[in-house]
Amino acid sequence: MEENNKISNGVKKFLIFITFAAGYLIMSLELLGFRLLAPYFGYSIYVWGSLIGLILAALATGYYLGGWLAEKKPGAKTIQNLFSGTAVFLLAILFVYQPILKYLSDWGVIWGALAATFSIFLLPMIFLAAVSPIVIKILSHQEKTGYWAGLVYAWATLGSLLGTFLAAFILIPYLGSRLTLYSCFFLALVIFVVIILAAGQRKMLWLGLLFFISLPALYPKQPPAGILLETESLYNQIRLIDTEKFILLTLNSQRHNLSQSAYVKQGTLVNLSLIDLFNLGPLISPVRELLVLGMAGGASVRQHQRYAPQAKIDAVEIDPKIIELARTRFGIQASDSLKIYEADARPFLAQSQKKYDMIEIDLFQGSPYLPFYVATREFFQSAYEHLNPSGLIMMNIYAPGKKEILASMLATISSVFPSVYTIPISDNFMVVASRSVIDSDAIKEKIKNSSRTNSPDLKLAADYALDFIKPYQADKKAPVFSDDWAPVELITYQMLKNLNF
């Protein structure tokens, strides 16, 4: 490799392929990082910012290191060492990433996510970023430097493009995080082996034993006792937890331990939970057409089918695997009175022309963070426009501690709806907002009178509501969220930080 013209076309093509593979691995690992961190730190912008920022820092370091190595040791052995280092590190991470993430989850969203990214991705990103400058040096060797630099970075970018689409649309959805991480390790190992074979360094082949060492990583540990299912989908990491009374559906919540749905083994009520409070809607106003945004496992759908059998329900859930689990595990079956839509809540509203008597909104996706675009005035205006004149919305808001998020959410909802009420339950608040004006005495009278004619076990939820429901008192200091400005994640982060959550 002393002279550019001494490098055969086959070697040149292989060197270009190496940069392609490095670009592929960089983006595959970056996308994988979001899925690995989500169960412990959520999907907030702080996690994205921490991950992307630190990876960019690692890439900058790697490019600098690659430039330095290109001047000192611009040969196949250097590239070989970079890929062997990547393979060895990824192999170690395969066995320890879950304990690392679990331990660092106590550090908080920002520092924990930064530390996790540093621990898991820093070294392989540095090693992989260092590859391209060395390849450029080998190919150019003082001649056609611009041409070779452009070609190398073009192919590295194409590799990143393939890594992005393959990881996002095939590997992670169909294989899961662990096997996707394994595939990255395996590719780095294969390139390392090919290089040492091409260089005639057969004595180094013993490192190929890494493949056999890695095989146990293909078989994840059995779920702990009480865990019926652990799987991944396009949107979530999913768990089904078996308890004495319930089967709980949890999404991305290994740190916060929040459940999104519950299948009651006997009966339908969930121990006076916020799910039970959704049944109050048909008591307040007759419901013939009902929209559920955020069906999850369908706990509230089952209750509506029992306590408001006259209602025709449209249930919206973004995750197809959760829809399937709702059908196979929780007994939620589409019928003439229940239509299930695989869609995101806000786009569904934008595309629908239908009017409803009640819209149920429960869109927390396995963490305390609410997607900002379903917390804005524009979203609630869209919900308002999909209601009949006496229709109402009922929304769950998670707001422990000082409840800053609740104040802003209520201010936002009341900027659209003339009548807004809250019912506190644990760290959650059930918000009832009516399209028409309804005073406090009237809403309590409706709940009281209607509950007498319903199933006796529903009376518990009605009595609780009568004790705790109260009208929203305007807070002029609380900001109204809009599509242009909705710092939902900032407020939630500060709330959790104050609680040491």
pLDDT attached to residue 367: 66
pLDDT attached to residue 3: 42
Is residue 37 over pLDDT 70? yes
Same domain, 464 and 403: yes
pLDDT digits (tens, 9 = 90+) for 316-328: 999 999 999 999 9
Instruction: Please tell me the distance from the alpha carbon of residue 372 to that of residue 180, in angstroms, as a whole number.
Output: 30
Note whether residue 472 is domain-resident: yes
pLDDT digits (tens, 9 = 90+) for 115-159: 999 999 999 999 999 999 999 999 887 567 788 889 999 999 999
Mean of the per-residue pLDDT values for the chain? 88
The number of folded domains in the chain is 2
The DSSP element (H or E) to which 320 belongs, if any, is helix 320-328
Same domain, 193 and 319: no
Same domain, 149 and 278: no
Note whether residue 312 is domain-resident: yes
Using DSSP's 3-state secondary structure scheme, residue 377 falls into helix
**Boundary of a domain, candidates 176, 198, 218:** 218
The arithmetic mean of pLDDT across residues 332-336, rounded, is 95
CATH value at residue 99? 1.20.1250.20
Q: Which of 122, 121, 104 has the alpha carbon at shortest distance from 113?
A: 104
8-state DSSP, 309: T
Query: How confident is residue 203, by pLDDT bands cut at 50, 70 and 90?
Result: low
Q: Which of 306, 311, 316 has the alpha carbon at shortest distance from 285?
A: 311
**Boundary of a domain, candidates 199, 218, 237:** 218
User: pTM surpassing 0.75?
Assistant: yes
CATH value at residue 320? 3.40.50.150
Instruction: Please tell me the distance from the alpha carbon of residue 154 to that of residue 135, in angstroms, as a whole number.
Output: 13
Q: Which residue has the tokens 């590859």?
A: 131
Residues 6+ apart with CB under 8 A from 484: none
Note whether residue 335 is domain-resident: yes
Is residue 420 over pLDDT 80? yes
Q: Which of 59, 58, 82 has the alpha carbon at shortest distance from 70?
A: 82
pLDDT attached to residue 245: 84
The arithmetic mean of pLDDT across residues 27-40, rounded, is 91
Note whether residue 247 is domain-resident: no
Same domain, 457 and 321: yes
Note whether residue 146 is domain-resident: yes
Name which residue leads in pLDDT, 461 or 269.
461
Domain, as residue range, for 429: 270-498
Note whether residue 314 is domain-resident: yes
